[in-house]
Structure 1
């Protein structure tokens, strides 16, 4: 146990990375002690939520012991020396398979760390586990043909979201402070919203990734904005393997103090397409806008930018892309894919080349609409998800492969337009389930978006305690 502030006693597994590093520096506790507390937390929670893949406590103990020795000599190896971290299944780690959450993928050890994993390892992180995801990352769900069903710690009958499902569940359950996810349509922000976390989808290219793809980013999933910024200071370091990566940014990731005074903020309560926003979700977004208004921001309600044609176009493009991958497999291997995903992707075989190009072209239409909108406002506030939650067993809130992306209406535009977007807990429903708020900024203004999130942490109401494991 640790007493960081006042009289509150906080378990080591609940401490932020910022507080862990301060504790290591002050020799209040060691990386080995922190890891043991997390191992104990995993033992209590994991039977209920199934968030982890390739969990390796013994390997992590060796890394933590080495970090403990370095801190005893006051000679840390990097920015995050001794801080525990999990890494999503689809981010390659040397010597370990990358199943992409799919039983249809042949397992082979990765030759080297992908850029985000390499940066975290270089910084001294204790990588103790990978985390679960759905098949090919094409669901915002904890459902997978390869991994066990991942559940939400706030309510184990509910879905943690995805595709960074295990990362979201692990963050809420207190499996340490830092979790790495990826996002191509909402995959760090949606689970963060449903699990009460902070998650940044950076500007495209800000965090080098391999393999790179249109709209695909890796980003931090944490409990605090400060920890997300700390993680970004490491993840944003350059790597030539990503041909879409941005030039190295000379930025002080700790400089997050940002006043909302006189900023023009657009409040987007209707995405323009997709699922209808539930009442409690809408109320939380409105309250967030009012909080910023009380701090001097100028709030204007704005229309959404996502048209039904855009959403349908993305659906067609992604169906064709996924079918391209599945069509290369033998019929037996293809049959191992989650039926929902297979059913959805098979429709891609019937699309014409023109249909697919027309679908891809919607990414450019979204980019143009986003740029136009952010000429008029400095930041946008919106819901992250239109729904409060949905059952753990569902592949998506509607659970209908004919309408697979209605719930990503607030998140996917910012992948296609390359804007930074932050999910942060805004409030709770009547039963105490978390509801996220999204803050979007102009391209490359990642630090500004984090600064707005930091300001919101100071403006929002008191947060509920993190969930505790169900009684046996």
Structure 2
């Protein structure tokens, strides 16, 4: 689509810049944080009624903060490396004094008593939280459907879902609301929506990026137009925070990443998850084409069978239902009635599960962990689809819209949350309907830099997306 008359070409060019170039322009005095924020606010105001990506958008406060940042840059005294740079945070990431609705009308809306680790580090570095981004009820869907937030849509096709649960972050990134967005991921909630919207999404080794509240598999991750934009965020959000009891020591040597030389590397190719949703032909073709590029660059491509079994996936489902129902059963009937019916139906099935069934479900999580570790006794890295399907309607709660089988689409992403391995989604093409397709790159535990290096190499071979949707 052509640029709208409401947006000047100079503003469009400014908002298309990678984050490091924007910050350099702030430092050099070529661009003011006020001008950048003004361009961003104008774009959000023009596009947000159609996209529905944001919660708690704060244009006046953000412009006031940008003015203070401009004064600091002029004085040569920025408070940190991200001073004046707009960043959106998924609303599940607490910021002091603000409610955390968790995407549901059943929220108690109590203000957060402190910043979460991610928001604390970004605030220290001078970032401006111009808005929170939406998520579904309790962050429990791969969708933009919520009883609290407006419906988030995929900017590539507004009839389609951006995925989730970092739905708003994906919509915001693809709609051009600046380059820096942060999501959370426990089964694919960064990579799934990144894949469907063309963004780069990164899930680090568990504990690499401090998160609180922490839980097995739960990670915070960047969602950005380019790999380097994500690396910039990782430099901030990976700094230690005592509240995450799973936290790893700081990355030795920092986040210095260069494109990988893949010659001689053994790279696995997994085209079937083992169970769950079948892979669409468009997705299969795009991932195969990406694998051929790695092979052409000297890698040895090794076919890897899907590791996920029906027992594993159903066990995970039982455990997550049981855990979630343990909270929901404390709700009053009035409060339960405010929860998205899909979520309520899914969770309430746990009332008929025995404690032994839930415990056996947790044992299946450990089995998934063992299976993912075994992959890397055979290969150095793994390629796979991110999403098995091309897209699904914006109004649906999940790709099959069935609360009795809610996790059929996470067979490629979820195992690496349970196994703690670093994994990313990077665009590897488009479907015949024009929806982006994500390639997942996975490495063994602690190989975060190496996964980013492979992603950077792939991005260099193909270039990042240049023509983002104009809504």
TM-score, normalised to structure 2, is: 0.96
Partner of 1:295: 297
Match of 2:242? 240
Distance 2:66 2:308 in 1: 46
- Residue in structure 2 matched with residue 337 of structure 1 by the alignment: 339
1:419 aligned to 2:424? Answer: no
Task: Name the structure 2 match of 1:165.
Answer: 167
Aligned residue among 434, 442, 445 for 2:444: 442
Q: Which residue of 2 aligns with 1:113?
A: 115
The reply on whether 1:137 has 2:136 as its aligned counterpart is: no
Offset at 1:255?
A: 2.4
CA distance in 2, matches of 1:256, 1:120: 24
Taking the aligned partners of 2:406 and 2:73, their CA distance within structure 1 comes to: 48
2:210 aligned with 1:184, yes or no?
no
Q: Residue in 1 aligned with 2:6?
A: none
**Structure 1 residues 461, 209: closer, same or farther in 2, change over 3 A?**
closer
Q: Is 1:49–2:55 an aligned residue pair?
A: no
Kindly indicate whether the alpha-carbon contact (under 8 Å) linking 1:86 and 1:129 is maintained by their aligned counterparts in 2.
yes
Aligned length: 464
CA distance in 1, matches of 2:341, 2:363: 28
Q: Counterpart in 1 of 2:196?
A: 194
Pair 1:306 & 2:308 matched: yes
Contact 1:292 1:459 in 2 (8 A): no
* Other structure's SS at 1:380 match: strand
Which digits, 9 at most, give the CA deviation of each residue in 1:157-184, with x for residues without a partner? 0000000000000000011111010000
Output the aligned Cα RMSD.
1.5
CA contact (8 A) 2:257 2:452 kept: no
* 2:384 corresponds to: 382
Which of 359, 362, 366 is the equivalent residue of 1:357? 359
> How far has the Cα of 1:305 moved from its partner?
1.1
CA drift at 1:462: 7.1
Q: Determine which of 228, 253, 263 is the counterpart of 1:226.
A: 228
Q: CA deviation at 1:251?
A: 2.9
1:279-305 Cα offsets, whole Å, 9 max, x none, are: 000011101101111111111111111
Matched position secondary structure for 2:87: strand
SS at 1:167 equivalent: helix
CA drift of 1:10 comes to 5.4
Question: How far apart in 1 are the matches of 2:359 and 2:133?
Answer: 34
- TM-superposed CA distance for 1:248, in Å, is 1.6
1:185–1:415: 8 Å Cα contact kept in structure 2? yes
Does structure 2 retain, via aligned residues, the 8 Å contact 1:226–1:254?
A: no
**1:103 and 2:68 correspond:** no
Q: Distance in 2 between matches of 1:443 and 1:244?
A: 14
Give secondary structure in 1 for the equivalent of 2:376.
helix
The answer on whether the counterparts of 1:230 and 1:254 sit within 8 Å (CA) in structure 2 is no
Judge conservation of contact 1:398–1:404 (CA < 8 Å) in 2: yes
Instruction: Report the equivalent of 1:63.
Output: 65
SS at match of 2:223: strand
State the distance in 2 between where 1:315 and 1:308 align. 10
Cα contact 1:189–1:411 (8 A) shared by 2: yes
**Could you give the per-residue CA deviations for residues 263-285 of structure 1, whole angstroms, max 9, x where no partner exists?**
11000000111100000000111
Answer yes or no: is 1:276 the counterpart of 2:301.
no
Displacement of 1:257 in angstroms is: 2.6
Residue 7 of structure 2 is matched in structure 1 by: none
1:375 is paired with a residue whose SS is coil
The residue number in structure 1 matching 2:397 is: 395
- Provide, for residues 376-399 of structure 1, a one-character-per-residue CA deviation record: whole Å limited to 9, x for no partner: 111100000000100000000000
| Mapped contact 2:180–2:233 kept (Cα < 8 A) | yes
Q: Which runs of 5+ in 2 are unaligned?
A: 4-9
Cα deviation digits, residues 53-110 of structure 1 (max 9, x gap): 0111111112111111111122221121111100011110011000100111111111
